[in-house]
Amino acid sequence: MKISFISSISSICLCLLSALFSTASAQYLMVGKVVTVPDSASLPGAVIITQGNASGATSDENGVFKLRIPESSAELLISYIGYKPRLIRVSFPLHSPLIVALEADANQLGEVVISTGYQSVPKERATGSFSTVDNALLNRRVSTDLISRLYDVVPGLIANQGKSNARGLLIRGQSTINSGSQPLIVIDNFPYEGDLATINPNDVQSVTVLKDAAAASIWGSRAGNGVIVITTKKGAAGMPTQISFNSNVTFGQKPDQFYQSRISSSDFIDNEIRFFENGRYKALENNINQYPFTPVVELLIARRDQKISPEQALQQIDALRSVDVRNDYAKYLYQPATAQQYALSLRGGSEKQKFFASAGYDRSRASEVGNSSQRFTINLNNSYTLSKRLDVSAGIYFTQTASKQNSQGIPTYTNPLTGFTGGVMYPYAALASDDGSPLALINEYRLSYLDRAVEKGLLDWRYRPLQELSYADNTARLTDYRLQTTLNYKIVGGLKFSALYQYSKGISTARNYYNADTYLARSLINTFSAVDVAGVLTRPIPTGGILDKTESSYSAHNLRTQLDYSRVFGSGELSAIGGFELRDLTRTGSTFRTYGYDDNYASGKAVDYATTFLYFVNPAVSSPIPNVDTQYQETDRYLSYYANAAYTYRRRYTLSASARTDRSNLFGVNANQKGVPLYSLGGAWQISQERFYHAGWLPYLKMRGTFGYSGNSNKNVSAYTTASFGVRGDVGTGAPYAVIQNPPNPELRWERVRTINLGVDFETRSRVLSGSLEYYTKKGLDLIGIMPYPGSSGVKTFTGNYASTAGHGIDLTVSSRIFDKSFKWYADFLLSQVSDKVTRYDAASTSIFYLRNGDGVGTYPLEGKPLYAVYSLSWAGLDPLTGDPQGYLHGEISKDYAALLAVTPENLIYHGPARPKVFGALRNTVSWKSLSLSVNVSYRLGYYYKDQSVSYTQVNTGVPTHGDYSRRWQKPGDEQTTSVPSMPAALNSNRDSFYLYSSALVRKADHIRLQDINLSYMLTGSASGKLPFRSAQLYVYASNLGIIWKAAKGSLDPDYAQSMFPPVRTVSAGVKFEL
Amino acid sequence: MKTVKNLILALVIMGPMLCCESGFLDKKPQKSLLVPTTLGDMQALLDNSRDLMNVSPYLNVITDGEFRLLDAGLNSVARVVQNAYVWSSEPPATQGDWDIPYKQVFYCNVVLDGLAKLTDQASSDEYKRIRGDALFFRGLALFNLVQLFSVPYKAGSADTKMGIPLPLSSDVNLKMPRASLKATYDQVLKDLLEAAPLLAARPLYLTRPSKAALQALLARVYLLMGDYALAAQHADAALALQNSLLDYNTVPTQSAISFPLPLSAVNPEVLFYSRANTSFLNNASVFADSALYSAYSENDLRKKIYFTSALKYKGSYTGTANPFQGLSTDELYLIKAECQARIGAASEALKTLDVLLQKRCVTGRYQPLTALSTQQVLEIIITERRKELVGRGLWWQDLRRLSGDSGFSFNLKRVSSGVTHLLVAGDKRYVFKIPLDELAGNPMEQNP
């Protein structure tokens, strides 16, 4: 009903249009429209050529094309990649509008239009490296965030999650050292500055990943890490209104507290007894800092002081041996995660108007008790055709996220043997009594001392972690919206002008209220309290709660004006764009704390931040009241010009070029003035279109190559001279003085990445095999690095554009249709190989930094090696007589640990990168009738990680060390079965370091993982005939299913060797209706 | 239709221009960045006195032969000091006496480049004074460098000898080659002469330059260039502004440090404060050379004021253990006297010297000087320079400039760890080697 109404409107319009044009000239000017079968959606980019003479046209974004024809009749060939071409005879005048419906060709590549954020290009004409993730593939995964849906489906893209500094989303390796390595995220034509978690994946139509210079260099100085272009759903002209509803629920397992090995409570207690007997705690008992003692030590003290009998002490200590605090963590601090998702959308359009509207609601509960979040999204966009030349569109995308961050993490205490606060809790702690009521744990001070403090009038000073969890009131709200408006005006022929403007703003407010009963509030008040000789108590921090409020926001203006030109010249097609762009991004933030806060009246009390107060516990220490108030404001401004052109001849040869210049307030004067463009050149040859090409088994074969530069900018360096004032005046004169921190760098410019990309796209008959193979090289040039500078410059080191990297790799995608009848078996195989290394970095560090941080924990570049690499010291096994670790010094077995550690960086053993060199996935999709099963197996190869192990320095300082403690060498012969050194007679930190940095603990990280499984059942309205919807899909999805194979022994997940636990298994179930 | 087209044209063409005009890209990326832009910021950079702007080279104090380092103390000093002590020709890996003056030059360049952007305030007195200060500091730093790393100035050959790199912009990426010796002195004079009308008559602090300090520095520069007429002229100009001398009869001889802190108490002789960047003279194993000590007569108060009876030095005008290397009136009298002698007015020279030496002698015991020949007068003056200006680095400058003077010949000798080291007049080691880290980052010709 609706369909016929709309189509009749469009028929009338087209009729009028054709009539208008056909009388306008002696030639016949015809107007037609290309649509798809069966859904009648308009098909942009279709090519219309008249047979015999060489005039032609391409359909615009509404599928409409115009063609000038000299004869009164003509034969038109209408074609579009992925569709069966049609030959149509028309004679003028036309009595009805020409609507050409093209049918999808199952034997050809699917319709792929790649969006660069500036234009849409049919994939067949592209020269660069693009990967498109279509809607179906995006929806295969169930998640509340979008980006994780790209994992294991885009060649060259990898998310390294488990490692501290080496983590992050990377496209084709890393071509920077000190700047951000994350790809630029573009949503609906503009870079997105907000939190990616605000994007509702249900609103996303498709994602295009731009990987090489030809693809990305249009984004200029921010494209060096690749670009992820997200296109949200839009209405379509002539599309009947569609309503869709998607809902699912996800359950996640409770994290495994026992994932990382740890010394047993019993072994830990034995060491505490030993330390006690050696008198290690004796001096600390009278320490002015009133360090807390663990229950075992307190029992031993009580026994010594004859407050309890030796038998009682022994009995109570033995009872603690079987207690493991991790059971309590699992019971009280962690929970199974859940997530619910609801998404409703409406889309459709007439000839004059297109619309899309959606609303989404997500709520999730995290694995940590007390943490949860809710997200609400609204998306509206509309476009109107105001005249035949002018159309405008406007959109609003609004999201609001509210989250609770009440989890307090794992409790800690001040370890008396190290004196450090935040020490790992002793392993036999208990969070709750048998009836579940919160227990007090030691934290900063001895319990007996706390009792005395309370007697003097101080607040209760005990620390009950479970009570803290119930008191916590830490909430955050994030509001993010984008307003976008677009104007398109067809000037003449193929020339089009467009102006786009977007305003986006994100406001994030966090409110952390520590009520008067929280430990933090009580402890801070007590810390600064003072009792004078007369017993009078003063409290510089007033009693009551403490409120921390943090607000941060960004606002961005983006303006773009662009001219598009596309025209068919004989057998050639030219499409070009050019424009300028302006960006202004401001970020502001502030944190304010209110002491003595009473939530009932929203009132606080003033405190004296200027005076230094003595600490109650140790009056030798004093400090002002902690002032956490901060404010900042940052502004990024860019002014850019860009142009891009592609010329395709006879649909076989395509040449492309792009250039962009960026100027920014981040760059130096010279870089801005020179305005050196980032550019690319590319070519493609569709061999299968050649007359000489006769390989019928391979109907599609294309080769392409590109070369070009894209950039990356770094906000931590400044083109300006920056200075700081001395805290006090000059020593001699008392005059205020300033020290230059950062010399001016008028040469400061963006980092550049030079990419060469060569690719082959192929497809066999009936798409039994299709895919592409790409080889690329990437060079990171002018990277920000530290450079020793000659003294005559006035500075000794300088942070500037000095470093470089080089990388190369292969991306292979093969899709196979093994069976393609009613039983379908499709397989998609991705393989990426990437090697990157630092080729220049002038500031070298000493070996200990590479050993300590090389595992991706810190960024310590070493020339000739990958940025994150695993290094070690040579391992010569354990001394069979003593169990001491041994290494090789000048080829000889040695136990001179200081000398072993003093090797120069070039003499370290280099194992390999800390991030995968080869990675990919194999996705098998089997479907029969309406039932479909898809299994994704991912693999990562060619990299290393470091296992953790026992540190006797930890043992000796009462820190719960690694569980390898029980595997330590204890008697001659043990060296046959273990490489864990014996307990040393005297503490030797070099011995510990040598073992922990030795190759004995380096493991191959290679593994294969069953990433996820998706099972779905599709019910279509037409199948049953009596269902109230067009289609319904029921699906079940499970992810993080486990490791199938790994090279290293042991229980650790190689990608999460440093993590507390790996990502949990999740199972989701959902349904999706189309009305 | 026409209007729409024009509008589009305007947007495409004018849009970017509009935003450039209004300084769109000049916005500071972070508000918290202190980008020195105001006169107050510039002043604060030049007032970084203790650690930078009022710090002078120290190698000259170690190499001038006036102090002895016992073998026992050899290992208590840095390798670069050990090498300097024995006049080693081994180039140092890095050298503070190269780096610090260049850092001063850099600060001056930052200030001068910053001032160039504040043209709207160019007529204010404060602006002029700060500009004058920066020029003075730059001229002084370059002058100090050329005394260490280039051969002494000789008018005839200065354009064929190597000077030092002359960075005159705050752009640290500009790697400057070595300028000729003449160009170096030309730059020093250019900076100082340009500063002359801009400086304060009475600075707020002695760490800042003044008109008198500038004249004193010019006198020193022209003396080193052998232009005695101009040196005398500037010494006179300085003395016309300030000629006060401290009567050493009023200086206590028992103090650990004889002179007051000039920045907080008054020392009437100090025109400009600067300290050498070393505690070498304070080292427990460092003592004055006995030849120097015995050069003072018993009536010469300096003997007891400059040294303890154990020959430890305590006579710095910094009022601390750091040697004084600033500018003071006593040096002006000596410059004036030498210039007078050089231009043939030997008797006037002695009269000038009498003014100074009277203040150094026990009251009533001073015998006015008499001499026979100009050369003898000169010898007296040079000897007095050596005795008066102890620890100021000026004796090293004198050794260098006089090594080509037919009338003088100084041969230094010291024994360290049983090895005898000699430094004869004209030795190439009178010119220090350029540090290796400079050559690595900015290749240039090394000194022989």
Closest CA of chain A from B21, distance in Å: 12
Which residues on chain B are in Cβ contact (under 8 Å) with A668? none
- Buried b / exposed e over A735-771, threshold 16 CB at 10 Å, is bbbbebebbbbbbbbbbbbbbbbbbebbbbeebebbb
Q: For chain A, give me the number of helices (H) and strands (E)?
A: 17, 54
Here the ipTM equals 0.87
Which residues on chain A are in Cβ contact (under 8 Å) with B54? 732
Would residue A809 count as lying in a domain? no
- As to burial, measured by CB atoms within 10 angstroms (0-12 exposed, 13-18 middle, 19+ buried), residue A982 is buried
A790 with B440: Cβ contact below 8 A: yes
Which residues on chain B are in Cβ contact (under 8 Å) with A579? 12
Would residue A451 count as lying in a domain? yes
Would residue B83 count as lying in a domain? yes
Closest CA of chain B from A491, distance in Å: 8
- At residue A972 the predicted structure's pLDDT band, cuts being 50, 70 and 90, is very high
Q: Which residue of B has its CA nearest to A748?
A: B173
Which residues span the domain enclosing A277?
265-323+408-471
pLDDT of residue A966: 95
Closest CA of chain A from B207, distance in Å: 8
Share of chain A above pLDDT 90, in %: 58
Contact, B323 vs B317, CB < 8 A?
no
pLDDT of residue A107: 44
Contact, A430 vs A321, CB < 8 A?
no
pLDDT at A112 over 80: no
Please give the interface size between A and B, counted as residue pairs whose CB atoms are below 8 Å apart: 197
Task: State the Cα–Cα distance between residues A487 and A392, nearest whole angstrom.
Answer: 4
DSSP collapsed to 3 states, A889-937? ECCEEECCHHHHHCCCHHHCEEEEECCCCEEEEEEEEEEECCEEEEEEE
CATH code for the domain of A39: 2.60.40.1120
Contact, A558 vs A492, CB < 8 A?
no
Contact, A258 vs A326, CB < 8 A?
yes
Pseudo-torsion of CA A453, A456, A457, A463, nearest 10°? 10
Task: State the Cα–Cα distance between residues A340 and A250, nearest whole angstrom.
Answer: 6
Q: Which residue of A has its CA nearest to B170?
A: A744
pLDDT of residue B356: 95
- What is the mean predicted confidence (pLDDT) over A76-80? 79
A637 with B24: Cβ contact below 8 A: yes
Strand runs (DSSP E) across A161-240, as ranges? 168-171, 184-187, 190-191, 204-210, 227-232
Cis-peptide, bond into residue A960, ω within 30° of zero: no
**Residue B142 has which token pair?**
């370059």
Domain boundary among A471, A486, A516: A471
Summarize pLDDT for B316-354 with one digit per residue, the tens.
999 888 899 999 999 999 999 999 999 988 999 999 999
Nearest to B272, CA basis, from B392, B152, B127: B392
Q: Which residue of B has its CA nearest to A578?
A: B12
pLDDT of residue A976: 94
Cα torsion angle, B106, B108, B109, B114, sign: positive
B25 with A665: Cβ contact below 8 A: yes
Domain boundary among A471, A505, A522: A471
Would residue B335 count as lying in a domain? no
Q: Which of B30, B48, B106 sits opposite A738 (nearest CB)?
A: B48
Cis-peptide, bond into residue A38, ω within 30° of zero: yes
- Residue with the bigger pLDDT between B237 and A289: it is B237
Would residue B323 count as lying in a domain? no
What stretches of A616-676 show up as alpha helix (H) in DSSP? 669-674
DSSP collapsed to 3 states, B270-308? EEECCEECCCHHHCCCEEECHHHHHCCCCCECHHHHHEC
User: Among A388, A577, A721, which would you mutate to test the B interface (most chain B Cβ atoms within 10 Å of its Cβ)?
Assistant: A721
Would residue B99 count as lying in a domain? yes
Q: In angstroms, how far is the first alpha carbon of chain A from the final one?
A: 14
pLDDT of residue A109: 41
- Residue with the bigger pLDDT between A976 and A846: it is A976
Closest CA of chain B from A741, distance in Å: 9
Q: Which residues on neighbouring strands pair with residue A463, listed in sequence order?
A: A441
Closest CA of chain B from A660, distance in Å: 14
Q: What is the residue-averaged pLDDT of chain A?
A: 88
**Residue A814 has which token pair?**
């093969």
Q: How many CA atoms lie within 13 A of B140 on its CB side?
A: 33
- Residue with the bigger pLDDT between A385 and A631: it is A385
Q: Which residue of A has its CA nearest to B106?
A: A794
A792 with B176: Cβ contact below 8 A: yes
Cβ neighbours of residue B2 closer than 8 Å, sequence gap 6 or more: none
Would residue A316 count as lying in a domain? yes
- What is the mean predicted confidence (pLDDT) over A974-983? 94
Task: State the Cα–Cα distance between residues A15 and A31, nearest whole angstrom.
Answer: 9
Summarize pLDDT for A668-702 with one digit per residue, the tens.
777 777 667 889 999 999 999 888 988 888 989 99
- At residue A1034 the predicted structure's pLDDT band, cuts being 50, 70 and 90, is very high
Task: State the Cα–Cα distance between residues B101 and A404, nearest whole angstrom.
Answer: 57
Beta-carbon count within 10 A of A267 CB: 19
- At residue A81 the predicted structure's pLDDT band, cuts being 50, 70 and 90, is low
Which residues on chain B are in Cβ contact (under 8 Å) with A795? 103, 106, 172
Nearest to A280, CA basis, from A266, A300, A263: A300
pLDDT at A549 over 80: yes
Which residues span the domain enclosing B163?
38-210+425-448
Task: State the Cα–Cα distance between residues A986 and A445, nearest whole angstrom.
Answer: 29
Would residue B54 count as lying in a domain? yes
**Residue B197 has which token pair?**
């009308």
pLDDT at B15 over 70: no
- What is the mean predicted confidence (pLDDT) over A74-94? 76
Task: State the Cα–Cα distance between residues B92 and A124, nearest whole angstrom.
Answer: 64
pLDDT of residue A10: 39
B48 with A737: Cβ contact below 8 A: yes
A293-302, A375-384, A862-871, A1013-1022, range with the lowest pLDDT = A1013-1022
Domain boundary among A103, A122, A156: A103
Would residue B316 count as lying in a domain? no
pLDDT at B7 over 70: no
Summarize pLDDT for A467-511 with one digit per residue, the tens.
999 999 999 999 999 999 999 999 888 899 999 999 999 999 999
Nearest to B280, CA basis, from B52, B84, B30: B84
B16 with A726: Cβ contact below 8 A: no
Q: What is the DSSP letter of A83?
A: B
Nearest to B212, CA basis, from B179, B238, B234: B238
- What is the mean predicted confidence (pLDDT) over A621-644? 86
Beta-carbon count within 10 A of A988 CB: 17
Cβ neighbours of residue B10 closer than 8 Å, sequence gap 6 or more: none
Which residues on chain B are in Cβ contact (under 8 Å) with A724? 34
What's the domain count of chain A?
2
**Residue B399 has which token pair?**
């050794």
Would residue A837 count as lying in a domain? no
Contact, A224 vs A711, CB < 8 A?
yes
CATH code for the domain of B185: 1.25.40.390
B29 with A793: Cβ contact below 8 A: no
pLDDT at A968 over 50: yes
Summarize pLDDT for B117-146 with one digit per residue, the tens.
888 888 999 999 999 999 999 999 999 999
Cβ neighbours of residue A193 closer than 8 Å, sequence gap 6 or more: A504, A506, A554, A556, A585
Which residues on chain A are in Cβ contact (under 8 Å) with B442? 790, 792-793
State pTM to two decimals.
0.77
Cα torsion angle, A610, A616, A618, A619, sign: positive
Pairing of strands A28-37, A98-103: parallel
What's the domain count of chain B?
1
Which residues on chain B are in Cβ contact (under 8 Å) with A665? 24-29
Would residue B283 count as lying in a domain? no
pLDDT at A21 over 50: no
Would residue A885 count as lying in a domain? no
B94 with A791: Cβ contact below 8 A: yes
Would residue A997 count as lying in a domain? no
Q: Which residue of A has its CA nearest to B275?
A: A732
